[in-house]
Amino acid sequence: MSLVSPGLDVPTAGDYAHDWTLIDVETSGLTPRRDRVLSVAVMTISPEGEQTGEFSTLLDPGCDPGPVEVHGLTAERLRGAPTFAQVAGRIGAMLQDRVLVAHHAQFDYDFLAHEFARARMWLPVSQRLCTLALNRQVDPPTGDLKLGTLAAHYGVPQQRAHDALDDTRVLAGILRASLREAARLALPLPLVTCPPRAASQFTPQPPKTPCAYRNPGPMAPGGPLRQGMKVAITGETAHARAELTGRAVAAGLNMMTSVSRHTSVLVTNEPASDSAKARRARTEGVPVIDEHTFLRLLADVRPGTAIATAATAVTGSEARRPAPAPPGAPAADAAPNRRTATPRAPAASTATAARIRRAEPAADAVPGRALAGHRVLVLGGVHTDAAAARTRVVALGGSAAINLSAGVTDVVVLPGGERDRRMTRIRALALPVHAPDWLTTPTAAAQPPRTPRPQEPAVLPRGGVIDLPMPPGAPFPVWHITAGWTPQSRFDVDVVAFLLDEDEQVTFDEDFIFYGAPESPAGTVRLLTGGPAEQTITLDLASLPPTIRKVVVAAAIDGSETFGTVGAMQISAAPGNSGPPLARATLDAATTERTMLLAEIYRRGPVWRLRTVGQGYDHALDALARGYGVDIAE
């Protein structure tokens, strides 16, 4: 079998030619540190597109095979198959010195990493390519990006879905077509560098028990303690810290690892201590008591208000308020570049309009939807002018693109944009190119020159709000909030998430999700990397504890560069890793910001909502994290 067929013009040189290893695994579940691989198929492809090897096998996982109705692999069928350790050497040889390719590659990569670690072997992968992420960049006119949907779009025959070997053969055809499209659009491949991995935590970390009570505020002088109070401890204690924490949690207190303005009391035997917690307590006016007093008050903790009762008492005004600045952020008069996220009316397709909460129209909105169905790429101009042009596109009912893709219908060239490296490819694709004044009176009455999609995502402006639907009678989907930007060569952009309680604070440091801790303890929130210019926060909203009232998704620049260099950030919300986007937004920060709030996902009664933010700050990620209560060393 060859990836090269007559007349397909498959790129076999330059940035698009690599030694590839295509892989697909069927698993007993979705959690790599806990679940096991049941079958694996591997195919190697040369830079010229020729298949050079193929291997597939069932595996005995030594555990329950999980959802048999999905993969069809019963315990009886797997009995007598080799273990992963017995075939790891052969798989490793096929991976060595090649780029791993999979559809949703991080899933397969993480499962392989854990299986190799269990076998006490290195996973010999230094780079991976996700065909799902690649097709998000290509943006084909399909309803979703599932393997079967892309196979049908690209004309690749599929015989047995969820069969590892057939899925790998289908993947080969999709890779061929996707590389051809990437070359046609001059897109850089979203190759992800993979660090060596040889060890792993094989059992899931038990989630920390959240406090069941609302925070009643600071402790009054002399006490008493009330259930739900946030308590922090610093310095040496006569009793073991674990004992103090355990007794406090049993009494209904909320034990914190850091101090913020929401902390009810700090326990320390050294009130003049120079620890970060003691300094913050003095700054915020947090009451301070010693260990002996704390133990005495623990004997009579007063009843609190249960979270379950309070969770449904969110008022309309509370849900409609503008996105707040993170705690600890500079005041408005000290941060002239701070953006206020005022809700505006989102432009939506008919299919999604009913799910969008309408806000007041934007002041700069214009009547009509002259650019409805158009996806417009803005090139050139200083940052403020480019941002204004993208805002105008959205006000006219269109969608603002940040990169060239198959979905782009028009290009607006601001001063200097004619020198953009993408202009050569834009001319070759014969895309309509417009001067800036086209956005004043667009002559775009004709249907956009592209294949229409089954459902266009709602286009949200900064501050737009949309309900995340709960399908009746079906499991609540895992939502994927994906951020993308123009690839950068001199610095990295990191996407992070904060899981916040009613006080806009993390309960535990583990509620801060970032590249160094990419998964929450219970696995309900994860950070996925689809490429050097794309990262995703996944949210299992149905499994979040009721104490989590909001999830904030943000981006930060690693280094001294600013978002003025990065340009616009695009975010999308989709149910599942390959589902069609429900909503999309293009967000611009000003010129000097180093961190940027992208979106908030928050509860309103039984409903979860997504609000785009687009608010930047000059300070770095550590200051943003401290503002949300994360304990970061000075």
Query: Which token pair is 536?
Result: 């995703």
pLDDT at 363 (0 to 100)? 35
Average pLDDT over the chain, rounded to whole?
83
pLDDT at 323 over 70: no
Write out pLDDT tens, residues 85-114: 999 999 999 999 999 999 999 999 999 999
CA distance 408 to 167: 30
- Of residues 123 and 363, which shows the higher confidence score? 123
pLDDT at 48 (0 to 100)? 85
pLDDT at 633 over 70: no
- Of residues 323 and 114, which shows the higher confidence score? 114
Closest residue by Cα to residue 264 from 274, 251, 272:
251
* pLDDT average, residue stretch 548-566: 91
pLDDT grade, residue 331 (50/70/90)? very low
Render 457-509 in DSSP notation, one character per residue: PEE--TT-EEEE---TTSPPP-EEEEEE----SS-EEEEEEEEE-TTS--SSG
* pLDDT average, residue stretch 565-575: 93
pLDDT grade, residue 197 (50/70/90)? very low
Three-class secondary structure of residue 134 per DSSP: helix
pLDDT at 214 (0 to 100)? 87
pLDDT at 332 over 70: no
DSSP bridge pairs for 574: 480
Write out pLDDT tens, residues 170-179: 999 999 999 9
Residue type, 361: P
Return the minimum-mean-pLDDT range out of 202-216, 390-404, 540-554, 579-593. 202-216
Give the whole-number percent of the chain exceeding pLDDT 70. 83
* Burial class of residue 514 (count of CB atoms within 10 Å of its CB; 0-12, 13-18, 19+): middle
Three-class secondary structure of residue 377 per DSSP: strand
- Alpha-carbon distance values, 482 to 130, 259, 598 (Å): 14, 31, 10
pLDDT at 13 (0 to 100)? 59
Beta pairing class for 569-575 and 230-233? unpaired
pLDDT at 634 over 90: no
pLDDT at 368 (0 to 100)? 56
CB atoms < 10 A from the CB of 551, how many?
26
**Entry pTM:** 0.79
pLDDT at 250 over 90: no
pLDDT grade, residue 208 (50/70/90)? low
Write out pLDDT tens, residues 414-456: 999 999 999 999 999 999 999 999 998 777 544 555 566 667 8
Write out pLDDT tens, residues 368-416: 578 888 999 999 998 889 999 999 999 998 999 999 999 999 999 999 9
Cis ω for the linkage preceding 224 (within 30 of 0): yes
